[in-house]
Amino acid sequence: MESIRALISAAERESTLPAGEDERFTGYGVMGQPFSSGYLLALRRFPVTSLGPGYTAVWMRRPSGSWTMYTDVSAEVSCPRYFSSALESASVHRIDIAWLDDHRFTVDIADDVGLHWEVSLAATPVTKAMSALASALPAKLWGSAAFLRIMGAVAGPTLQAGRIGLTGRVPNGQGFRANPKRMWFISGSTATLRGEDLGTLGSLPVQTRLGDFWIPQRGIFMMGSSRFDAFDPAAHHVLPVTHD
């Protein structure tokens, strides 16, 4: 099995942005991992962006359905820029990602958050086939909303992950286009929040989403890029959120 850690190390050093005038991000992360407790965690790590410094973000959905985003840069240049109107809170913290071996890593947010998350990744025939297909597609197709809708409709059942939205609008109104190029399944994961065990891997009784961005019903780790419409004050909004 290829070393995912080596691929991520190369991405940290060599990632580039796709061409364009919109708002662009290149990196990797966990699209979403539901736990049996009703919590859901997601990770975004973008070494390069068109807005400012690279950043890391952890998304958390509580069993109540409320969302929090933790980032290591300000909300104006990270995920809350697009999702703040759907969040209960957002705040800035130090976020540490550490690789334990070629296929396992941890995510830690210390201070008052107290999150420790361990993730194991695995390639399967399905993820290998999807990665090979995605990596071979021409850039023109990745820019087509019609193609992304078709690919999302195919990817969801193929990955047994429920609905997958690769294009649409986020809660703050911007259009988005997600371009996953490589993927792996999460084969194991544990997490604690202030010492509370979040449970075993599971799926939510009802699949959740933020705008048109559906969170997969199983843990998937992806590498690729994302694009969002440039901010237009006449069409988009950024509502203030409560900070933890």
| Amino acid at site 146 | A
pLDDT score for 110: 87
pLDDT score for 198: 98
- Residues in the chain predicted with pLDDT less than 50, given as ranges, are none
pLDDT score for 232: 87
Cβ atoms within 10 Å, residue 129: 11
Q: What is the DSSP letter of 52?
A: S
15 Cβ partners below 8 Å, 6+ apart?
26, 27, 47, 48
Overall pTM surpassing 0.85 (yes/no): yes
pLDDT score for 241: 63
Contact by Cβ (8 Å): 209, 32: no
Structural domains of the chain sorted by starting position, each given as residue range(s) with its CATH number in brackets: 4-123+183-209+216-228 (2.40.370)
pLDDT score for 242: 61
